[in-house]
Amino acid sequence: MSPGPAELAPLMDAYARHVIVCTGGHCSPSREGRMLYAQLARLLQRENLLFGPRRVKRGETPCLGVCGGGPIVVVYPEGIWYAGVTPALLERIVVEHLRDGRVVAEAVFHRLEGGTRDQSE
């Protein structure tokens, strides 16, 4: 007897947020997105956000469909889109938004309608 879908389903630990970094060449032609993606791993580890109930999952994509103002970083489930992300801004996003729950409002260029509101509003 072959295994059913439940037996074949991948296992994933729960996570509180998902951060997506655009690493494509259109929004960051100097490869800043790739550097930010690597920095994100170090920052999440430093802030103890890799495991447990506040776990943050990170992902990269070659395109988020916004080819200007990059690098672009998106945080879900809030649906917060940050533009022009620098290493210093990424650190603020990790500490203020991901760790402390306060959106870095001055760097937001788009909010997904119906997204979860942050604690600072």
pTM here is 0.84
Q: Identify which has the larger pLDDT, 89 or 4.
A: 89
**Residue 13 class from Cβ within 10 Å (0-12 exposed, 13-18 middle, 19+ buried)?**
exposed
Establish how many alpha carbons lie within 13 A of residue 54's alpha carbon, considering only the half-sphere containing its beta carbon: 12
Token digits of residue 45:
């580890």
In angstroms, rounded to a whole number, what is the distance separating the alpha carbons of residues 2 and 115?
A: 41
pLDDT, mean of residues 26-47: 92
- The pLDDT confidence band at residue 39, using thresholds 50, 70 and 90, is very high
20: helix, coil or strand?
A: strand
Instruction: Say what the pLDDT of residue 121 is.
Output: 43
**What does the domain layout of the chain look like in residue ranges?**
14-111
Which CATH architecture group holds 14-111?
3-Layer(aba) Sandwich (3.40)
- The pLDDT confidence band at residue 27, using thresholds 50, 70 and 90, is confident
In angstroms, rounded to a whole number, what is the distance separating the alpha carbons of residues 20 and 22?
A: 7
From the centroid of its chain, how far is CA 115?
14
pLDDT, mean of residues 46-52: 95
Pairing of strands 80-82, 73-76: antiparallel
